[in-house]
Homo-oligomer: A and B are copies of this chain.
Amino acid sequence: MNEQEILTSFLADFIQELVFNGVKDVVISPGSRSTPLAMMIAEHPDLAYHINIDERSAAFFALGMAKQTRKPVALLCTSGTAAANYYPAIVEAKISRVPLIVLTADRPHELRDIGAPQSIDQINLYGKHVKWFVEMSIPDPNEELHYFVRTTAARAVNLSLQAPAGPVHLNFPFREPLIPRLEPSPFEETKQSVKSSQGKLILSNGELERICMDLETQPKGLIICGVIDEPDFAQAVLTLSERLGYPIIADPLSQLRSGLHSSEAIIDNYDSFLKDGKYEEKLSPEVIIRFGAMPVSKPLTLFLKKLKKVDHYIIDSGSGWRDPIKMGTQMIHADEILFCEGISSRIKNEPNNKWLQIWQQLNRNTRKIVTKTIEDVQELDEGRVVLELTKLLPNNSTLFVGNSMPIRDVDTFFHNNQKNIRVMANRGANGIDGVVSSAIGASVYGENLFLIIGDLSFFHDLNGLLAAKMHHLNITIIVINNNGGGIFSFLPQASSSKNFENLFGTPIDVEFEYAVKMYGGNYKKVTNWNEFQSSINRAIETSGLNVIEVPTNREKNVQTHRNMWNHVSQEKSKLLTGDTLC
């Protein structure tokens, strides 16, 4: 074999095995050193490739696509700082457990650390933020190497999926010439492959029985579902709740607030009614069973932190230690669905309906007040955007939610509904970066994609919009523009820093209309609720990129929230001290 054939055969083995193990999408950023991989990936009949120029956006785009499809997505870039631009999305993917297969091209050994252009030290470039790093060999006809190449591809896919899912990094040194041989197709030969499967963690019968016995002695329990996105989890946890009579506190990212399943036990207004920190003794459980990453609600966190002598189970299929409130008493590393099923099938007691009813009634009453208070706000308001949007979203939608204020508003104002709405956010590291690209990546295989995002976060990843234009994707972006860092207005520095507006408020005073036009999108800045409703409805019917900007006011937003919390607090006081509950 000549050099070109060696290169081609080496990469054909690698790519073929990625495909064999289920990779369907590769996000490619243009570059020179990555030429052989790029050209061959483009040639494979079963791979879709997606060009994304800015590597930071590219990696977040891949992350969004992997979230949406629940499959590993591969990434390819050239050597140098290109690869360093992947870092934020890789960090996010590691914590939020999203499978990514990061392929970086590199200079060969003889060009490293001697001042050659575009050469940086790429060995372990992402440190502890990837699950696996492999320095690939230079392509070589050695027979053993074929096995190495194929199994490295198989293992990369396997590891990226094995709970906790996450990113892996393979670094490919290439020598010139970089052009592979594409005629005849290098993928035609059938080759030996290794298929890998991932098992799930399950507790022993003995352990499940022990836990059941404990739970049966504790009729007042709470199930808490944080960030979790497993298609069969909703049914499993609802059955568990029914057997135990425990209400389910459901974060918007638990995927429990939407869908045709029963919503009777699902508590979705806790963020509002726990806010005042009063009458907690009436709501105190004896036991807590928690699934998924910690919910976003701070009032919930503070409520939980006071429950000192409560048995607190944390179930985690990814064997993490998800206990930022440091209240866990039982850390259970087991698949969440298998755990629910294991307990549900063993519980024999009748549930305590009164306990459940208190939570249900409080939740219902709060929902009424929250809805009423916010619907009374006539001017444009951040909370009401979420409430209105929930009504308008079509069935089978994905709602991608930006960090900082939007996720908190969605927590408060996105209530139980019967539609099929998948809610996503980058809640691994909670960055405001890369959100646009993640949502656009999720739109590739998701219908009716809506992103709700703040102005700073929108600005941070404006480059992400290019992918929507280049790939003719359909997405509607609702930009809540309070001209700066709105969340800081809720923090102590709002009153104590004379440099507040410079350091934290940071108004950027830009008209996003220009950017949207540049990327060929439809843009509308709304001035009232009628316009908001008609803009959303128009966007639903208009393909391509739609951006709806909602100008709001940071100070008014703080006021509206505080006003609503006051109303809720009064109602809660009536309910929990009065005779309305029996």
Q: Is the CB of B322 within 8 A of A30?
A: no
Q: A459-B54, A466-B510 are in contact. Are A503 and B81 (CB under 8 A)?
A: no
Neighbour of A80 across the interface among B81, B430, B509, CB < 8 A? B430
A182 to B511, CA, bound (A): 36
Q: How far is the CB of A108 from chain B (nearest CB, A)?
A: 12
Contact of A111 with B81 at beta-carbon distance under 8 Å, contacts A294-B117, A429-B120 already known: no
Which B residue sits closest to A124, measured CB to CB? B127
Contact A466 B470 (CB under 8 A): no
Please, what's the 1-or-0 string for A74-105, where 1 marks a CB less than 8 Å from any CB in chain B?
A: 00000011101101101110010000000000
Once A81-B429, A128-B121 are accepted as A-B contacts, the answer to whether A462 and B462 lie under 8 Å apart by CB is: yes
Q: Confirm or deny: A67 has a beta carbon within 8 angstroms of a beta carbon on chain B.
A: no
- Decide if A136 is an interface residue (CB 8 Å cutoff): no
B120 near A129: Cβ-Cβ < 8 Å: yes
The answer, yes or no, to whether A578 is at the interface (CB within 8 Å) is no
A466 touches B120 (CB 8 A): no
Q: Assess whether A42 is in contact with B430, with CB atoms less than 8 Å apart.
A: no
| Chain B positions within 8 Å of A519 at CB level | 510
Contacts of A30 in B (CB 8 A): 456, 485, 488, 503-504, 506
Question: Which partner residue on chain B sits nearest A94 by CB separation?
Answer: B120
| CB <8 Å contact, A499 and B39 | yes
Query: A88 to chain B: which residues have CB within 8 Å?
Result: 81, 84-85, 87
In this assembly, does A113 line the interface, its C-beta being within 8 Å of a C-beta of chain B? Answer: yes
Task: Please indicate the chain B residues that have their CB under 8 angstroms from the CB of A120 in the complex.
Answer: 91, 95, 129, 429
Chain B CB within 8 A of A320 CB: yes
Chain A positions 473 through 508: 1 when the CB is less than 8 Å from some CB of chain B, otherwise 0:
000000000000101100111001111001110101
The distance from the CB of A65 to the nearest CB of chain B, in whole angstroms, is 18
Residue from B43, B129, B324, B503 within 8 A of A121 (CB atoms): B129
Tell me, in angstroms, the Cα distance from A576 to B59 when the chains sit together.
53
Is the C-beta of A17 less than 8 angstroms from some C-beta in chain B? Answer: no
Stoichiometry (number of copies): 2
Chain B CB within 8 A of A293 CB? yes
- Provide the bound-state CA to CA distance between A103 and B63, in Å: 28
Closest residue on chain B to residue A433 by CB atoms: B81
- A28 contacts B by Cβ under 8 Å: yes
Of the candidates B87, B124, B430, which one forms a contact with A117 in the assembled complex, judged by CB atoms under 8 Å apart? B430
Question: Does A179 touch B at the CB level, under 8 Å?
Answer: yes
Do the beta carbons of A42 and B503 come within 8 Å of each other? yes
> Interface 1/0s, chain A 424-446, versus B by CB < 8 A?
00000111011000000000000
Contact with B along A229-249 (1 / 0, CB 8 A): 000000000000000000000
Name the B residues within 8 Å of A92 (CB-CB): 81
A366 close to chain B: CB less than 8 A:
no
Given A30-B504, A85-B87, A515-B515, 20 more A-B residue pairs with CB atoms under 8 Å apart are A30-B506, A32-B491, A39-B503, A43-B499, A51-B506, A81-B429, A81-B431, A81-B433, A114-B324, A116-B294, A117-B324, A118-B430, A127-B127, A178-B492, A178-B493, A179-B496, A182-B498, A462-B463, A514-B514, A514-B517
What are 28 of the A-B contact pairs (CB < 8 Å)? A30-B456, A30-B503, A30-B504, A35-B491, A39-B503, A42-B502, A43-B499, A51-B506, A53-B506, A53-B508, A56-B85, A80-B430, A81-B429, A81-B431, A84-B129, A113-B321, A114-B326, A116-B324, A117-B294, A118-B430, A118-B431, A179-B496, A460-B463, A462-B462, A511-B518, A512-B518, A514-B514, A514-B515
